Structure 1
Amino acid sequence: MSSCVPTTATIVNSIGLRPLKDTSDLRELVASGKFFWLDLANADEAARTDLLSLLGLEDPDLGWVRPFGQAGRIAVSKERLRVVTWLADRSGNLVEIHVLCTRHHLLTVWNGDPAVLDEVRRHFAERVAELEKSPYQAAAILLQLLLGTLGEAISNADSRIQRIHDQLEREPGSIDFTTLKKRLQSVQSVWFDLDCYGSAVRLAMVGVEAVPGMDARGASELNDYAEQVQDIEHRLHERLRWSADIVQDYATAIAQRQGEQINRLTLVSLIFLPITFLTGFFGMNFAWLNGLVGGAGAFFGLGVVLPALTVLFTTVWLRRRRLI
């Protein structure tokens, strides 16, 4: 690897927030023994491997950090906290992020727009001087900040769901059911992943105070994080129910519209059914009628007046029955 490091490698420590300049910069940070957070976004495999090797990570750590496409999980052990979780980008999409905390550093590895975490880095930098005294507390605060991006995404989704609900009430036919169904399936998938992750978090927090090296502040913040994850689960589940209700309302509205159209067609058929009968009767017996009835007046009466009276009578009868 060259001495240049991608600008997506960012350092946050007690000095402040800055891009990682080169590999020698990271060596100096590691050698100093002072706590820092290294954020790696969009680093290619070669650059990522070189940087991780400078941190002296063990094989189990690398197994958590390097491969993507993992299920959400968390493990708390002596001087280690390993997490596979998600953050939400500006579009509200979930982005997988791997978090590793040791006694000397925090590491995050992910792929996405680095600007998404600008606010998270700034907030963490404001607190890092105090947080470096407790790595577990630092990791818990970082996890809470990452979880905050999911909370913002859910809040933004509320307005979109409300717009769809309003559109459904005004013009149900203008909604694309395929798109609506895909959105519901997407919410279901996110909720399922987060529900499984929430279970893993709650399990990891059982007896967390007894983990060797755990301090009171770290345990407290980790328990707070578990509660926040559960709150996000509940919020997302409510949105899932809301979205499902909208889909059900849409299906009901479409069925109602189809029923109304069928009723209209039925009424039209009732009005013109007698004319159809008369037309068929006269057509099948035209020769007999031609011999029996003579004159243009008779044909006008049977061919025009009688059908018109039939339509008028049927319409009046339907109105009196309040069918139209």
Structure 2
Amino acid sequence: MTVTVVSMPEVTVTRTDLAGARERLAGDSLLLVDVELPPDAEPVPLAARLGLDAAELDWFGRPGEPARADFLGDRAGFVVPVVQGDAIRHVHVVVTERFLATAHHGQGDLAHKIAQGLRHERPVDPVHMLFIVLQEALATFRLSAVRNLLETEELEDEMFEDRKAEQLQSLARLRRRSAQLHHALLPFLQVTDAVLTRRMINPSFPEERQRSAREFQTAGRLVLADIESLQEATRRSFASYSSLVAGEQNGVINRLAIVSVIFLPLSFLTGFFGMNFTFLTDKLETRDDFWLLAIGLQAMVLLGSVYVLHRTRIWRRLLDED
């Protein structure tokens, strides 16, 4: 377990333990306390060990918690989804007027990223720090959506040049990824919008915080639009792939139809003259009669079939498709 304390406004980063973080939370103001839990750690009463309200914050640091946004009087609690590589993690956040506490499993560079954001933004209070953390979480979704969207467009371009089976597997992976991003972000935006809207209706909610809340809501809708664009792009690419496959199948069927047009009359003649009719056995007495009917008639049928295909321009259409 790694505990990082960031003090403002100097943005001083120090490492400590839970006891040291509890002492700092009890005495100092304008703090960010980040607790990194091992990925396979057993659940611990993290809120109680940090000196927070254990009854209302029993979910803080507990694995498997869904997206959450609660206003608890003098504090607020959030479970924020964050994209980390190919996985989607959740960061637990508790904010008051004095401090901001976060807890997460893994994500060892989260505290460093937040500290970098604090150095650039210079927040005036922990609520401002909260919106910085929320914006950083949205940025991970935006980056993942844009990167996957570009990969989808590249795959679609490659399909028209040289279609391969591996492209279909990549499209299926990207489509599943877009569904994961949408499924993780949409519930979080819904619960946070409900809480923020109720707070903005309250006349005591400061104007500066209202502006930060509106900026977050706008950014959330834009990121959700990016993810929906990714979903639409993957659906379009699947449709393009299906169209290409259907076009190739139509070409094969057309070629089989041409072969049938040529050889079906020949097969009929072969079967017809293979029967033991009296005329065939008694009247065809000379070799010339045999060659005239057996070879000449089939040659005439073959030439007629080719002429029909040429007049209907089927050959030309097949060459244009190739």
> The TM-score by the shorter chain falls in which range?
0.7 to 0.9
Alignment RMSD (CA, Å): 3.0
Task: Say whether the 8 Å CA contact 1:72–1:85 is kept in structure 2.
Answer: yes
What's the TM-score once normalised by structure 2's chain length? 0.83
1:95: which partner in 2? 89
Task: Say whether the 8 Å CA contact 2:145–2:178 is kept in structure 1.
Answer: no
- Following the alignment from structure 2 to structure 1, what is the Cα–Cα distance between the partners of residues 144 and 175? 15
- Following the alignment from structure 1 to structure 2, what is the Cα–Cα distance between the partners of residues 253 and 44? 44
What's the TM-score once normalised by structure 1's chain length? 0.83
Task: Say whether the 8 Å CA contact 2:35–2:102 is kept in structure 1.
Answer: yes
Structure 1 residues 276, 17: CA separation in 2 closer, same or farther (over 3 Å shift)? farther
> In the alignment, residue 6 of structure 2 is paired with which amino acid?
V
1:199-237: per-residue Cα shift (whole Å, max 9, x none)?
222211224246698543333212211111111112211
Task: Say whether the 8 Å CA contact 2:83–2:89 is kept in structure 1.
Answer: yes
Q: How does 1:69-84 map to 2 (within 5 A)?
A: 69-84=64-79
2:171: which partner in 1? 180
1:3: which partner in 2? none
Q: CA deviation at 1:150?
A: 1.2
Structure 1 residues 116, 301: CA separation in 2 closer, same or farther (over 3 Å shift)? farther
Structure 1 residues 70, 49: CA separation in 2 closer, same or farther (over 3 Å shift)? closer
- Following the alignment from structure 1 to structure 2, what is the Cα–Cα distance between the partners of residues 233 and 313? 63
Instruction: Say which is worse superposed, 247-256 or 292-301, in terms of deviation.
Output: 292-301
Q: CA deviation at 1:276?
A: 1.0
Select the residue among 234, 247, 251 that pairs with 1:256: 247
Structure 1 residues 177, 45: CA separation in 2 closer, same or farther (over 3 Å shift)? closer
Q: CA deviation at 1:59?
A: 3.2
Structure 1 residues 138, 115: CA separation in 2 closer, same or farther (over 3 Å shift)? closer
Q: SS of 1:84's equivalent? A: strand
- Following the alignment from structure 2 to structure 1, what is the Cα–Cα distance between the partners of residues 46 and 71? 23
Q: CA deviation at 1:164?
A: 1.7
1:216-263: per-residue Cα shift (whole Å, max 9, x none)?
333321221111111111221122222222222222222222222212
Q: CA deviation at 1:169?
A: 2.0
Alignment of 1:36 onto 2:27: no
> In the alignment, residue 170 of structure 1 is paired with which amino acid?
E
1:143-196: per-residue Cα shift (whole Å, max 9, x none)?
112211111112211211111211232234545545534532442343244233
| Unaligned 5+ runs, structure 1 | 1-5
Q: CA deviation at 1:18?
A: 3.9
> In the alignment, residue 30 of structure 1 is paired with which amino acid?
L
Q: How does 1:1-150 map to 2 (within 5 A)?
A: 6=1, 8-14=2-8, 15-16=10-11, 18=13, 20-43=15-38, 49=44, 52-91=47-86, 93-115=87-109, 118-127=112-121, 130-131=122-123, 133-150=124-141
Structure 1 residues 287, 224: CA separation in 2 closer, same or farther (over 3 Å shift)? same
Structure 1 residues 288, 84: CA separation in 2 closer, same or farther (over 3 Å shift)? farther
Instruction: Say which is worse superposed, 295-304 or 192-201, in terms of deviation.
Output: 295-304
Select the residue among 143, 149, 155 that pairs with 2:146: 155
> In the alignment, residue 72 of structure 1 is paired with which amino acid?
A
1:36-87: per-residue Cα shift (whole Å, max 9, x none)?
2222334367687365433212235433323333332312343212112211
Q: SS of 1:49's equivalent? A: coil
Select the residue among 208, 225, 228 that pairs with 2:219: 228
Q: SS of 2:63's equivalent? A: coil
Instruction: Say which is worse superposed, 172-181 or 223-232, in terms of deviation.
Output: 172-181
- Following the alignment from structure 1 to structure 2, what is the Cα–Cα distance between the partners of residues 47 and 17? 30
Task: Say whether the 8 Å CA contact 2:3–2:21 is kept in structure 1.
Answer: no
Aligned-pair identity in percent equals: 21
Task: Say whether the 8 Å CA contact 1:39–1:109 is kept in structure 2.
Answer: yes
1:284: which partner in 2? 275
- Following the alignment from structure 1 to structure 2, what is the Cα–Cα distance between the partners of residues 210 and 90? 37
Task: Say whether the 8 Å CA contact 1:89–1:95 is kept in structure 2.
Answer: yes
- Following the alignment from structure 2 to structure 1, what is the Cα–Cα distance between the partners of residues 97 and 193? 23
- Following the alignment from structure 1 to structure 2, what is the Cα–Cα distance between the partners of residues 146 and 318? 64
Structure 1 residues 291, 157: CA separation in 2 closer, same or farther (over 3 Å shift)? same
- Following the alignment from structure 2 to structure 1, what is the Cα–Cα distance between the partners of residues 95 and 204? 13
1:169: which partner in 2? 160
